[in-house]
Amino acid sequence: MRGIPGNEIALRARLDGAVREALFRELWTEYWPRLVSFLSALGLGDEDSEDAAQDALIKAFERILDYDPARAFSTWLYAIGRNLARDRIRKSAGRDSVLSGRGNGNRELVDLAPSPFPGPEQSALDAVDAAFARRFIERLDPRDRAIAELFYGADSGCAEIARALGAPTGTVKWRLSEIRRRLAAEWEAGHG
């Protein structure tokens, strides 16, 4: 899931407005879905995640010349998204819909996802695995869910996740080992 390299983003951002606009459109297409997944993992409801993803992208575009290509663009963007999510959650504190609504609206999307494995038997196995994965991810608390989302869903490394979440790398490694241990135990219980 590696997209446009950071150096290319920084370079194109410094060219003329038309080039920048084309860049923004590419980044929008590439990162909007990833941001929604990340923000949803942080605890925002589906609608809030989509709104916050749009806000984060706009904010990132407005500050595109501040982007430092020494770091992954996704990390920078996720950090902007995380701040927006925190504000939204704070503002919505007490409203049940924000925290309890997460994940519920994704089922249709999961069912629509194309399977890379053709054939009815494989499809059935995929469906079982997907159901297990969905149950597992939905039961994690928001912090662990965000870590799992970035590690497994976006192939991010521990240092990158730590920067995106504003947490120490050691904490991310520790939580990740807990997530893996729990994942293995639940998988064993369900498939053993």
Among 6, 34, 76, 175, binds another protein (CB under 8 A): 34
How far does Cα 104 stand from its chain's mean position? 16
Neighbours of 182 (CB within 10 A): 14
Q: Which of 2, 62, 90, 94 binds another protein (CB under 8 A)?
A: 62
Q: Which of 64, 161, 164, 172 binds another protein (CB under 8 A)?
A: 64
Among 4, 10, 99, 133, binds another protein (CB under 8 A): 133
Phi/psi at 43 (5° precision): 120, 0
Measure the CA–CA gap between 34 and 12, rounded to whole angstroms: 22
Examine residue 99 and tell whether it contacts another protein (CB under 8 A): no
Name residue 79's amino acid: A
**Alpha-carbon span 88 to 34, nearest angstrom:** 18
The residue range among 2-10, 64-72, 82-90, 163-171 that interacts with another protein, by the rule CB under 8 A, is: 64-72
Phi then psi for residue 95, to 5 deg, are -90, 115
Among 104, 129, 139, 177, binds another protein (CB under 8 A): 129
Take residue 19 and report the two structure tokens written for it.
């080039």
Q: Which residues bind another protein (CB under 8 A)?
A: 1, 13, 17-18, 20-21, 23-25, 28-29, 32-34, 36-37, 50, 54, 58, 61-66, 106, 109-110, 112-116, 126, 129-130, 132-134, 136-137, 148-149, 151-155, 180, 183-184, 186-187, 191
